[in-house]
């Protein structure tokens, strides 16, 4: 799995875990719905760390919590 798909999957997993719609996450995080949709639908494949921090704030978690999963620990080198 590449980093983009790992981030996308993590956001969707956390939405389910917190029973949040994308609209609710956008409101809670201060990230525009269009930015969130661009991330999830592949138009923006490299979200910035500030955007990810804002999403984490919306979920009520830290960046460490966001990235502390086996998926991120096992990511392959992207530059070959």
pLDDT for 64 beyond 80: yes
Model confidence over 17-29: pLDDT tens digits? 999 999 999 999 9
Model confidence over 36-63: pLDDT tens digits? 999 999 999 899 999 999 999 999 999 9
CATH number for region 3-73: 1.10.260.40
CA 29 to chain centre: 11
Q: What is the pTM of this model?
A: 0.91
Nearest-CA neighbor of 29 among 3, 7, 6, 11? Answer: 11
Rounded-to-integer distance, Cα 56 and Cα 61, Å: 5
Please classify residue 26 by burial: count the beta carbons closer than 10 Å to its beta carbon, then call 0-12 exposed, 13-18 middle and 19+ buried. Answer: buried
């Amino acid at each position: 799995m590449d980093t983009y798909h790992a981030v996308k999957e993590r956001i969707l997993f956390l939405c389910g875990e917190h029973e949040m719609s994308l609209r609710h996450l956008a409101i809670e995080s201060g990230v525009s719905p269009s930015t969130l949709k661009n991330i999830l639908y592949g138009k923006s494949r490299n979200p910035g760390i500030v955007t990810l921090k804002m999403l984490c704030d919306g979920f009520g978690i830290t960046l460490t919590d966001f990235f502390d999963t086996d998926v991120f620990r096992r990511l392959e080198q992207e530059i070959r």
